[in-house]
Structure 1
Amino acid sequence: MGIINGAEFAPTSTYLDTAKCGLLPARAVEAVQRLAASNGAGGGAGDFGIVEAARESFARIVGVPGARVATGGSVAVHCGLIAAAQQPGAEVLFAEGDFSSIINPFVVRGDLKIRYAPLDELAEAVRPTTALVAWSAVQSADGRLADDTAVREAAAAHGARTLNDSTQAAGWLPFDASLYDYTVTGAFKWLLCPRGTSFLTVSEEAQESLVPLHAGWMASADSWNSTYGPLSELAPGARRYDEPPAFLAYHGAAQSLAYIEETSIAAVHAHDTALAARYRAGLAALGHEPVPGESAIVSVPGLADREPGLRRAGIITSARAGHLRVSFHLYNTEADVDRILDVLSGRTLARRAAGH
């Protein structure tokens, strides 16, 4: 069984693709619709208080004070701020094959020393010349979990800062953002927020390391009295790095994040990983070898070509890096696991052919 309130979700397919995009709770959809409907009626511009509620909710989920969270629209923009702060010639270390949004902002500068290492060798690859280590807690392509502790310890031993992308982790995997100098999180996946919702966390120690290059009037300590001319003082904490809010997205996000808090990460983690374990066992029985681990994302090398057929059968998955990628979240059930296994085994087609 799922752990959802049935009133919040009503998927019209067997949806196993949260690693691509999460489903919106009904309350989030309604919040977006309310704001859109109020356009021109005095309230359609959006509510900054709701943006603050989303900030504080996310902060609680990842274990940091709200003052350490910046709101924005994309991981790439957050990473662009961090990339801009690196000194020319600085060495930045990435995990091989990690998601491009955390890599490209550094690569396109053209004056940084970029290095890559296999995910399971990332800690060993940190060296005294490394200025920053950037990696994803959970790999997008195949669901592998990084040894975050080992990488953090290696970075600390060599004086390197850390940037962790928790986009594929926050929402199902217990994640403590306070352990990193910077974290970035696209919230439209496991946190079930609308696209256009993304969060940056900055540790107190790293607070002055970034320049708020896209600072608008909201980067000021006194925003409403700083709408014209240059600001006199930056906002305290990470709010100085805020992007202007996409209100429709954030009105929905505040509701989605509240729903995740109500459900609890511990409950979601237990549920998601139990379904993933059931699927892995079923795959093994069919003779398939998924990428090993205990992730809510399960990828099978060499089965990417099955994605179109699964979609025709009403089962939504993704093909990534030659893998068939399946991801389980709080709205999925054991019946969803059994259905995809049936289709992959050919049993569903056999029953149809027999007239059942």
Structure 2
Amino acid sequence: MLNCQRDLFSIPRDTAYLDAAYMSPIPIAAVAAGEAGVRVKAEPWKMTIASYYDEVEEARQLAASMVGADADDIAIVAATSYGMAIAAANLPVPTGSAILLMENEHTSHRYIWYDLAQRSGAHVDIVPQPADGDWTNAIVSAIRNSSRPIAVVAGTLVHWFEGMAIDLETVAAAARAAGASLVVDGTQWVGAVPFDVRRVRPDFLVFATYKFLLGPYRLAFLYADRRWHEAGRTLEHHSWNRVGGDKSDFYKVAVPDFLPGARRFDMGERSDFAVLPIAIAAMKLIRGWTVESVFGRLRHLNELVWSQAESRGLPVARPRHPTPHISILDIGDRLAASAAQELKRAGVHVTLRGTKMRVSPHVYNDEADINRLFESLPLR
């Protein structure tokens, strides 16, 4: 099993940071890379045209390796919501059809579909949270039993709020059988859970870097199925996603062709000299550990979370379909009203929403962090 990597991060020993699903810290090496990147803009006379391309392509390749894709399949975008807007700009949604969403889906993967439905004369149909926790069966049943033709299934591997796992391969098969497009939000798991996009084959998959990829804020990657590589509609038009943008006479060609693959979807000013190096350094670490090894460590730590809760007699019930890298414990009325403030004072960081506590460790956590959480947890 992968050992704790705490020494690669600037995390004090008296801090138990267990909130990667909110925002992860970035590794020390990534901080250094970002600082070097800032200095590029401080001395623009030293820049060459390679400054706009080399790191872009390195980041694209690394991002592709996280999901089993090819570099040509990946676009560099600003956020999950940006990638979802690209998907919405391309997918056919006929009048009277339905866009299928899980109940309480994250806003970056929700609002755009309401907007598209309103513009297209379509409907947003919500799959209610299943009482038995089986989101996969609930989504597949909703697809098969819909009274309307399904145009889009907006899916994910793990419900961001409930921490329940979804079998995306099964959902993808049902979506294809119904003639629906599949759009996936990977922000809450890419980098932490092994995934092969070739097995699921979504139309689009978007994942931001600031959570389990240990990267910067304001950066995401978009996977686009090859059916969208030749005719996909981009949100922005600029030189960097066009052929010849690296030439001194780029402005002479009226409308040059797009660069190959998903590069047509790249955002403007994609080669952010401070942001991209952070993502590259962080993804290099993950590639060195391997996603499989990261997953194994997180599964071990989350098993400790559940074991500690149960051994202390907390009224928690493990979900029937848990995601192994995040634990969401409903502690009910045992959780003190002042829990959030008291945990922070104790140097413990988790997400609390009502009676639910979301614990999301990463490779910088160890067994002592889990112990600290439960020793500091204020209960009634």
Alignment TM-score, normalising by the size of structure 2? 0.85
What is the percent sequence identity of the aligned residues? 25
| Structure 1 match to 2:9 | 9
Maintained 8 Å contact 2:36/2:274 = no
Q: Please state how far the C-alpha of 1:345 moved relative to its aligned partner.
A: 6.4
Deviates more, 1:268-277 or 1:239-248: 239-248
The 3 A distance-change label for structure 1 pair 44 and 224 is closer
Is residue 2:187 matched to residue 1:181? no
Is residue 2:84 matched to residue 1:51? no
Residue of 99, 103, 115 corresponding to 2:125: 115
Q: Please state how far the C-alpha of 1:295 moved relative to its aligned partner.
A: 2.3
| Structure 2 match to 1:207 | 229
3-state SS of paired residue (1:114): strand
Is residue 2:68 matched to residue 1:39? no
| Structure 1 match to 2:256 | 232
3-state SS of paired residue (2:152): strand
Aligned-partner Cα distance in 1 for 2:352–2:231? 38
Aligned-partner Cα distance in 2 for 1:168–1:297? 9
The 3 A distance-change label for structure 1 pair 37 and 205 is closer
Deviates more, 1:140-149 or 1:209-218: 209-218
The 3 A distance-change label for structure 1 pair 223 and 255 is same
Residue of 18, 24, 37 corresponding to 1:22: 24
The gaps in structure 1 that reach 5 residues or longer are 347-356
Is residue 2:374 matched to residue 1:341? yes
3-state SS of paired residue (1:50): helix
- Which residue identity is paired with 1:184? V
| Structure 1 match to 2:68 | 63
- Which residue identity is paired with 1:318? T
Q: Please state how far the C-alpha of 1:10 moved relative to its aligned partner.
A: 2.6
Deviates more, 1:145-154 or 1:283-292: 283-292
| Structure 2 match to 1:352 | none
Aligned-partner Cα distance in 2 for 1:243–1:139? 27
Is residue 2:244 matched to residue 1:222? yes
Residue of 262, 282, 295 corresponding to 2:324: 295
Deviates more, 1:321-330 or 1:60-69: 321-330
Residue of 88, 91, 94 corresponding to 2:98: 91
- Which residue identity is paired with 1:98? E
Residue of 165, 186, 199 corresponding to 2:185: 165
The 3 A distance-change label for structure 1 pair 294 and 220 is closer
Q: Please state how far the C-alpha of 1:135 moved relative to its aligned partner.
A: 1.5
3-state SS of paired residue (2:205): strand
The 3 A distance-change label for structure 1 pair 11 and 304 is farther
The 3 A distance-change label for structure 1 pair 78 and 87 is same
Is residue 2:354 matched to residue 1:316? no
Q: Please state how far the C-alpha of 1:153 moved relative to its aligned partner.
A: 1.3
Alignment TM-score, normalising by the size of structure 1? 0.90
Q: Please state how far the C-alpha of 1:270 moved relative to its aligned partner.
A: 0.7
Aligned-partner Cα distance in 2 for 1:168–1:54? 19
Q: Please state how far the C-alpha of 1:222 moved relative to its aligned partner.
A: 2.4
Q: Please state how far the C-alpha of 1:276 moved relative to its aligned partner.
A: 0.3
Aligned-partner Cα distance in 1 for 2:29–2:52? 17
Deviates more, 1:244-253 or 1:83-92: 83-92
Aligned-partner Cα distance in 1 for 2:349–2:47? 34
- Which residue identity is paired with 1:307? A
Is residue 2:146 matched to residue 1:125? no
Maintained 8 Å contact 1:69/1:201 = yes
Aligned-partner Cα distance in 1 for 2:304–2:186? 25
Q: Please state how far the C-alpha of 1:88 moved relative to its aligned partner.
A: 4.8
Deviations 1:37-75 (A, max 9, x none): 343323579543112111101111210110000011101
Q: Please state how far the C-alpha of 1:142 moved relative to its aligned partner.
A: 2.5
The 3 A distance-change label for structure 1 pair 228 and 142 is farther
Maintained 8 Å contact 2:204/2:223 = yes
Residue of 171, 174, 182 corresponding to 1:154: 174
The 3 A distance-change label for structure 1 pair 124 and 34 is same
Maintained 8 Å contact 2:326/2:360 = yes
- Which residue identity is paired with 1:279? V
User: How many pairs align?
Assistant: 347
Deviations 1:279-315 (A, max 9, x none): 1111122323155224211112245942222111100
Aligned-partner Cα distance in 2 for 1:160–1:175? 21
The 3 A distance-change label for structure 1 pair 224 and 268 is same
- Which residue identity is paired with 1:63? G
The gaps in structure 2 that reach 5 residues or longer are 129-134
Aligned-partner Cα distance in 1 for 2:327–2:112? 28
3-state SS of paired residue (1:223): coil
Aligned-partner Cα distance in 1 for 2:170–2:336? 32
3-state SS of paired residue (1:64): coil
Matches within 5 A, 1:243-322: 243-244=267-268, 245=270, 246-285=272-311, 286-290=313-317, 292=319, 293-301=322-330, 302=332, 303=335, 305=337, 306-320=339-353, 322=355
Maintained 8 Å contact 1:319/1:325 = yes
Q: CA RMSD in A?
A: 2.3
Aligned-partner Cα distance in 2 for 1:294–1:39? 41
